[in-house]
Amino acid sequence: MAQGRAKRPHQKVKTGCMTCRKRRIKCDEGKPACRQCTDSLRKCEGYQPPQAWLFKPRPSPEGSETEVALVPAISHMAPIGDANDKRSFQFWVEQAAPIFSCYFGHTFWTQLLPKIGFVQPAVKHMLIATSNVVEYAALDGVPLDHNAAYQSHYTKAIQATCSSPQVENVLVACLLFACCEFMKGSAAGGLHHIRSGINIIEEWYSSLSNPEVEVSETARVIIPAVAPIFMSYLDKSPTYGMGDVTVKKSTRIAIIAPNPELPHIAPFPHIHGAHHALDGTAHHIARLMDWRRAEHTPSPQQKIQRLLDTWRMNFDQYVDSLTPAKKERYAVAVPLLHVYHTMFSIMFRASSSKSEAIYDQFLKEFMCIVCTYTDFAVLWTGNGPPKFSSGDPGSLDYHMGFIPPLFFAATKCRHPATRMAALNQLGSLRVEENNWTSCTAYMIARKIIQIENNMAIINDRVAHKDERDLIRPVEASITDKRKTQATLSYAVFPYADETEPLLHETVDLLDCTSLLSSSKVQWPLSKILRIGGYQGGGVKPTPTDCCCGLHSPKGGFAHRQKT
């Protein structure tokens, strides 16, 4: 039998145009069309983007199993860009990534994501765009509507995502699009991207059961790292006024890590770093506080206490380093962060108990909260920093709001004078914050106080405190289209799980006419009530222009303790 001609040894090249590869001939790789195609009057079908492997399998030291190792694909690294782009990328690594890592997935934000940005154009462009957003929001950067770098990279990121549709690349870009929106103050826009990402994650996890679907090693590493971050943002959606978003139970089980990575708190270079670090810690405390949703794996309590302690130590050092001008500028921001640290410390310590009476241990802390708002009232009526945004991007315009600490004190502190002082302060705020207004919070808190007082009177227990007279709010919802009444649903002792029937009381909304003719409240209010009014760190208070006169603060504040 005649033997065929032996093939000359050669190395296969897979970087030629698609036409030459189909013809199995050598391509000169000319652009936009190779000479092989133009000389033969063929249509050059273009080139596939080079594979830039972030991950490659390598045997473990024992050789018994394969592990995925993260290695930068140096030979295929995309250039960062010009000097401004390199500066923005460096800003991401040094300042933007630590802000996002204050919430969830420290390793992902600070280590994995920058490496992905080196090899994936869509991610690189979104990192630079997001970096510009953070710089504007935190450090007096160029406003976004005049920021050519932000506009250019945001557009390029969209184009690159469409041309590189691998699921892991789309998912990471989706997360960064969401972060951009959150940093700009657009909760609705951010959550739109988060929901899209959750849909992608659900489809991906469903595909794992199909043996015919080939899943890349890159996806197997990136998606489990990024999926819990999507879920954490989704878990916060009720505090943004978006309502509860349903997710398949199988998906939740698959993507919620059994040992969630807690935030990393480093020294604060600016007040925004302190704000985000505390807000990130608060997310884990809110999970412990929300007794009606037990599906999440609770975060280790010892570590959360360490986070609170570390934050306080770093914040005290930061405040000590401020110049007199900065201290005057942050005359509201610094005490407000102290108030929130106090509030979250109470919430955390109380979350380990099933008793509402545990809040009696924190009278001193509640009095400090109310006294701080007394100082705020003096500042706001004088020449101090304004209550509402001054338009200065370097100040703490976006924060956790003025309503929650007072609502928390009014509903959880059972010391009569301090409780009423908190309620009176709440009625005088006249602010709108994300889901609700201070008037709404006032009327709900007032109803909770009335219910507890009435229970004590009916049961002849006014003279002494009794756990059976204390309630836990679960939800407030509108009961008629005219919005003149709301129904407050609540649980009574022993505050069993959500299978237990709830009691209901009517909240009259006629006391504030501005609520009847506007959509300032996102009904129903559920998770907010269960976690003390906390709405996350993306709150930008605005005036309600309300003249309801629910309460005038004169004479209603708690007296300071003598020192």
Nearest to 534 by CA among 412, 425, 450, 447: 412
Residue 274 main-chain phi, psi, to 5 deg: -65, -40
Q: Mind listing the pLDDT tens digit for each residue in 105-116?
A: 888 888 889 888
State yes or no: pLDDT of 8 exceeds 60.
no
- pLDDT in the model for residue 49: 44
How much is the average pLDDT of 267-284? 88
486 vs 188: which has the higher pLDDT: 486
Q: Taking the C-alpha atoms of 348, 349, 351 and 354 in order, what is their torsion angle to the nearest 10 degrees?
A: -170
Q: Which two tokens stand for residue 458?
A: 């009916």
List Cβ<8 Å contacts ≥24 apart for 474-481: 474/292, 474/502, 474/526, 474/529, 474/530, 475/524, 475/525, 475/526, 475/529, 476/444, 476/507, 476/523, 476/524, 476/525, 476/526, 476/529, 477/523, 477/524, 477/525, 478/523, 478/524, 479/506
Paired strand residues for 542: 432
State yes or no: pLDDT of 46 exceeds 60.
yes
287 vs 139: which has the higher pLDDT: 287
State yes or no: pLDDT of 258 exceeds 60.
no
- pLDDT in the model for residue 558: 39
pTM: 0.74
- pLDDT in the model for residue 218: 82
Q: Which residues contact 174 (CB under 8 A, 6 or more apart)?
A: 193, 194, 196, 197, 200
- pLDDT in the model for residue 217: 81
Q: Mind listing the pLDDT tens digit for each residue in 307-344?
A: 999 999 999 999 999 999 999 889 999 999 999 999 99
Report the distance separating Cα 114 and Cα 100, nearest Å: 13
- pLDDT in the model for residue 434: 81
Most confident of 250-254, 458-462, 490-494: 490-494
pLDDT tier for residue 247 given thresholds of 50, 70 and 90:
low
Kindly report which listed range (29-43, 53-67, 537-551) carries the lowest average pLDDT score: 53-67
How much is the average pLDDT of 349-360? 92
State yes or no: pLDDT of 268 exceeds 50.
yes
317 vs 218: which has the higher pLDDT: 317
State yes or no: pLDDT of 167 exceeds 90.
no
- pLDDT in the model for residue 447: 96
Which DSSP helix (H) or strand (E) runs through 87? helix 83-91
pLDDT tier for residue 451 given thresholds of 50, 70 and 90:
very high
pLDDT tier for residue 393 given thresholds of 50, 70 and 90:
very low
State yes or no: pLDDT of 294 exceeds 80.
no
pLDDT tier for residue 523 given thresholds of 50, 70 and 90:
confident
Q: Three-state SS for 385? A: coil
Instruction: Fill in the DSSP letter of residue 547.
Output: -
State yes or no: pLDDT of 518 exceeds 80.
no
- pLDDT in the model for residue 290: 81
Kindly report which listed range (4-18, 66-80, 358-372, 481-495) carries the lowest average pLDDT score: 66-80
How much is the average pLDDT of 236-260? 57
552 vs 88: which has the higher pLDDT: 88
Q: Over pLDDT 90: what percentage of the chain?
A: 25
Centroid of chain to Cα 318: 23
State yes or no: pLDDT of 426 exceeds 70.
yes
> Token pair 């489809």 is at which residue?
203
430 vs 511: which has the higher pLDDT: 430
Q: Taking the C-alpha atoms of 37, 42, 43 and 48 in order, what is their torsion angle to the nearest 10 degrees?
A: -40
- pLDDT in the model for residue 5: 45
210 vs 130: which has the higher pLDDT: 130
Paired strand residues for 56: 69
- pLDDT in the model for residue 59: 41
Report the distance separating Cα 112 and Cα 133, nearest Å: 21
State yes or no: pLDDT of 361 exceeds 90.
yes
- pLDDT in the model for residue 229: 85
> Residue 363 in contact with residue 413, Cβ under 8 Å?
yes
How much is the average pLDDT of 247-268? 65
pLDDT tier for residue 488 given thresholds of 50, 70 and 90:
very high
Round the average pLDDT of the chain to a whole number and report it. 79
184 vs 503: which has the higher pLDDT: 503
